[in-house]
Structure 1
Amino acid sequence: MLTEVKKSLRLICCYFKFNISSAMEYRASFLVQCFGMMLNNSAFIFFWWILFNNVSTIGGYTFRDEMMLWAISSSSFGFCFVVFGNVGNITKMILNGELDTYLLQPKDPLVNIACSRTVVSAWGDALYGMIIFFLIRGFDVKGFLLFLLFCITGALILASVLVSFHSLSFYTGNTEGLTQLAIEFLISFSIYPEGIFSGGVRFILYTIIPSAFIVYIPAAVIKQFSIFMLLKVLGVSVLWIATAYGMFYKGLKKYESGNLIISKL
């Protein structure tokens, strides 16, 4: 088991280096997309600043607390699509029989598929979140290390949720619409104060759409450290990864090859 994890990590690192090199071939385009995304995200700071100038707190959150949600959610989203940039295409590949190339290679198919491309604009999301963190927390080394850890767990949970929803395509056909809805819910819920949600919605935020473990609990731990809450986030991350792997490989037994005789360099 440990050997397989090491192999997967090496594969992720190799793809990461290759994707960076590929993106930097067109540096002007890379910079434009990154700064364009950062500029787009920055517009929301103005919106929240105006809102919090009229009210002191929303759902128990101050302006700084809200900005921390944005920092974690933005960088988690960025890390996810920088490293696992192909995760959004899994349904299309299943329906078109395009998994053949990956299944023939001596690599973990799911990791191989997810890491085979990067989303350039996601670099802008990742950098934007880090800048917001330093603006509201300053040079807090301990806080920043926790921030990076939670961005990694957030990215893994986000990628796992998407893989799980995409894997439903093995059973029910096209689930791109459902998966897109899931990611929109994840992003939308993650950037609003937890206190404004109640009842069944809060239950969803801790289960099907785990925004609580991507941003709410991490933000609380950074503000006031709790080893118990930290371990809870780590445990949920492992649980979602296991769920994604289980659903993908169980569904793979139902996969119908597209008989595409192509090679992947």
Structure 2
Amino acid sequence: MLMEVKKSLKLMGFYFKFNLSAVMEYRVSFLMQCFGMALNNSAFIFFWWILFNNVNIIGGYGFTDVMMLWAISSASFGLCFITFGNVNQITRMILNGELDTYLLQPKDPLINILCSKTIISAWGDTLYGIILFFFIKGFNIKAFGLFLLFIITGALIFASVLVTIHALSFYSGNTEGIAQLTTEFLISFTIYPEGIFKGGLRYVLYTLIPAAFMVYMPARIISNFSLPMLFSVLAVAVMWIIIAYTAFYKGLKKYESGNLIINKL
């Protein structure tokens, strides 16, 4: 098991270097998209600053608390699509029978699929999140170490939830719409104060849409360290990875090859 994890990490590292070198071939375009996305996200700081000038507390959160949510959420989202850029293409590949190429290679098919592409604008989201963190916390080494850990766990949870949704395509056909809706829910719920969500919706944030483990609990841990909460976040990240792997590989047994070569003939 440990050997398989090492192989997967090595493959992810290879793809990361390859994708980075590929996008850097068009350096000007890469930098423009990165800074353009970071600048676009920065507009929301102004919005929240105006809002908190009129209201001191929203759902138990102050201005810097909300900015920390944005920093973790943005950097996690960015890292997810930097590393797992193909995650939203899984349904299309399943329906079009395009998984054959990956299944024939002597590597983990799921990691191979996910990491074979990067989204350039996602680098801007990650850059924005990191800059925003330093704006809030300054050069706090301990806090930044936790921040880096949580953007990794956040990215893994994000990708795992999407893989699980896309894997349903093996059974029920096109689930791209559900995956897109899930993405919007995850983003929306992670950038607003937890306190504004009431009733049963709060349970959803800790279960079906694990926004609490992606952003809310990490933000609390950075502000006020708690070892049990840290273990909870790590455990949920591992749990979602297992769910995603199980859903994908069980569904893969139902996959029908696209026979693309035959179709072209």
Q: TM-score range by the shorter chain?
A: over 0.9
- After superposition, where does 1:130-141 map in structure 2 within 5 Å? 130-141=130-141
**Separation (CA, whole Å) in 2 of partners of 1:16 and 1:49:** 36
**Separation (CA, whole Å) in 2 of partners of 1:242 and 1:199:** 29
Q: How large is the Cα RMSD of the aligned pairs?
A: 0.8
Identical counterparts, % of pairs: 73
SS at match of 1:107: coil
**Separation (CA, whole Å) in 2 of partners of 1:9 and 1:202:** 34
1:123 positional shift: 0.4
Q: Which amino acid aligns with 2:211?
A: S
**Separation (CA, whole Å) in 2 of partners of 1:78 and 1:147:** 14
Q: Which amino acid aligns with 2:160?
A: S
Q: Which amino acid aligns with 1:66?
A: V
Post-superposition CA distance 1:172-191 (Å, at most 9, x none) = 00000000000000000000
> What is residue 124 of structure 2 aligned with on the other side?
124
Q: Which amino acid aligns with 1:196?
A: I
**Separation (CA, whole Å) in 2 of partners of 1:178 and 1:200:** 21
**Separation (CA, whole Å) in 2 of partners of 1:246 and 1:78:** 25
- Give the TM-score taking structure 1 as reference length: 0.98
**Separation (CA, whole Å) in 2 of partners of 1:128 and 1:29:** 17
Q: Which runs of 4+ in 1 moved over 3 A?
A: none
**Separation (CA, whole Å) in 1 of partners of 2:261 and 2:229:** 49
**Separation (CA, whole Å) in 2 of partners of 1:39 and 1:132:** 12
Q: Which amino acid aligns with 2:230?
A: L
> What is residue 96 of structure 1 aligned with on the other side?
96
1:49 positional shift: 0.4
1:260 positional shift: 2.5
> What is residue 14 of structure 1 aligned with on the other side?
14
- Give the TM-score taking structure 2 as reference length: 0.98
**Separation (CA, whole Å) in 2 of partners of 1:66 and 1:3:** 40
> What is residue 153 of structure 1 aligned with on the other side?
153
Tell whether 2:200 aligns with 1:200: yes
**Separation (CA, whole Å) in 2 of partners of 1:131 and 1:3:** 36
Q: Number of residue pairs matched?
A: 262
**Structure 2 regions of 5+ residues with no counterpart?**
none
> What is residue 163 of structure 2 aligned with on the other side?
163
**Structure 1 regions of 5+ residues with no counterpart?**
none
**Separation (CA, whole Å) in 2 of partners of 1:184 and 1:54:** 28
**Separation (CA, whole Å) in 2 of partners of 1:251 and 1:170:** 5
1:261 positional shift: 4.0
1:41 positional shift: 0.2
Post-superposition CA distance 1:141-198 (Å, at most 9, x none) = 0000000000000000000000000000000000000000000000000000000001
> What is residue 49 of structure 1 aligned with on the other side?
49
> What is residue 40 of structure 2 aligned with on the other side?
40
Q: Which amino acid aligns with 2:108?
A: D
- After superposition, where does 1:209-228 map in structure 2 within 5 Å? 209-228=209-228
**Separation (CA, whole Å) in 1 of partners of 2:163 and 2:201:** 22
Q: Which amino acid aligns with 1:171?
A: Y
> What is residue 243 of structure 2 aligned with on the other side?
243
SS at match of 1:174: coil
Q: Which amino acid aligns with 1:68?
A: M
Post-superposition CA distance 1:15-67 (Å, at most 9, x none) = 00000000000001101100110011001001000000001100000000000
**Separation (CA, whole Å) in 1 of partners of 2:231 and 2:93:** 35
SS at match of 2:232: helix
**Separation (CA, whole Å) in 1 of partners of 2:193 and 2:139:** 25
